Amino acid sequence: MSDAPSPHILVDADACPVKEEVYKVAFRHAVAVTVVSNGGIRIPDHPLVQRVVVPADPDAADDWIAERADAASVIVTADILLAERGVAVGATVLSPTGKPFTPDSIGSAVATRNLMADLRVGGEQMGGPSAFKKEDRSRFLQALDTALVRLKAGR
């Protein structure tokens, strides 16, 4: 038997479009899910799922997740700075589109985020993120399943 902690999923839930997919994969793998938001998000009545409601402060959900993440965590977030914090502690971090944030990719993701923020502050009109597509949902399901298989195998 391994002393490694059990995998668990931490969801940055306020704007997460794949919560149902998280539950589906988590139930199949018997992995706990914590849904963190600053609002009353509905969750399934299931022993593997818990909801944490944090204050409406801008970074409260990110801070709660980052303080509890470890190498056995899968963090689901579109927030680049939370992703950076997760990667720093060895968590597996996935965007809702299934894109993994890794030690190799997080630096450029943060730099792009900062550049876009600077352009917005400078008055540039920026488009928002691309529309969420069926392919994104499918890629997320595959990425989450793969991450849980890897964590459960201790790799």
Q: Rounded mean pLDDT of the chain? A: 87
| Residue 74 placed within a domain | yes
pLDDT of residue 119: 59
Q: What three-state secondary structure class fits 93?
A: strand
> Global pTM?
0.84
pLDDT of residue 39: 85
pLDDT of residue 1: 45
Q: Which residues of the chain have pLDDT under 50?
A: 1
| Residue 35 placed within a domain | yes
| Residue 102 placed within a domain | yes
pLDDT of residue 132: 77
Contact 101, 109 (CB under 8 A): yes
- Count structural domains, the chain: 1
**How far from 122 is each of 74, 112, 119, 128, CA to CA, in Å?**
35, 15, 5, 16
| Residue 1 placed within a domain | no
**CATH value at residue 23:** 3.40.50
Contact 11, 76 (CB under 8 A): yes
Tell me which residue range forms the domain holding 100: 8-152
| Residue 2 placed within a domain | no
